[in-house]
Amino acid sequence: MKVVITDYQYENIDSERSIITGAGYELFDYQVKTTPDLIPVVKDADAVITQYSDINAEVIEHMQNCKIIIKYGIGVNNIDCEAASRKGIYVCNVPDYGVDEVSDHACTMLLALGKKLPILAKSFRKGEWGYSSVVPLLRLSECTLGLVGFGRIPKMVARKMSAFGMKVIAYDPYINETAAQELNVTPVTLEQLLKDSDLISVHCPLTKDTYHLIGKEEMTLLKPNAILVNTARGGIIDEAALIEALQNGKISGAGVDVFENEPVTPEHPLLHMDNVIATPHSAWYSETAIHTLQRKVAEEVVNVLNGNPPFNCVNMK
Residues 191-195: contacts with CB under 8 Å, at least 24 apart: 191/221, 193/146, 193/147, 193/148, 193/169, 194/146, 194/218, 194/221, 194/222, 195/221, 195/222, 195/223
DSSP string, 155-177: HHHHHHHHTTT-EEEEE-TT--H
Nearest CA to 193 among 220, 154, 213, 221? 221
Q: Which residue is catalytic, options 101, 203, 233, 239?
A: 233
Q: Is 267 a catalytic residue?
A: no
Nearest CA to 242 among 266, 276, 209? 276
* Cα gap 63→38, rounded to integer Å: 10
Task: Identify whether the C-beta of residue 91 lies closer than 8 Å to the C-beta of residue 67.
Answer: no
Q: Is 281 a catalytic residue?
A: yes
Q: Which residue is catalytic, options 128, 191, 217, 262?
A: 262
Q: Is 262 a catalytic residue?
A: yes
Q: Which residue is catalytic, options 62, 152, 268, 281?
A: 281
Residues in CB range of 268: below 8 A, 6 or more apart = 259, 278
* Cα gap 199→223, rounded to integer Å: 10
Spacing of C-alpha 306 from chain mean position: 30
- The 3-state DSSP class for residue 205 equals coil
Catalytic residues: 233, 262, 281
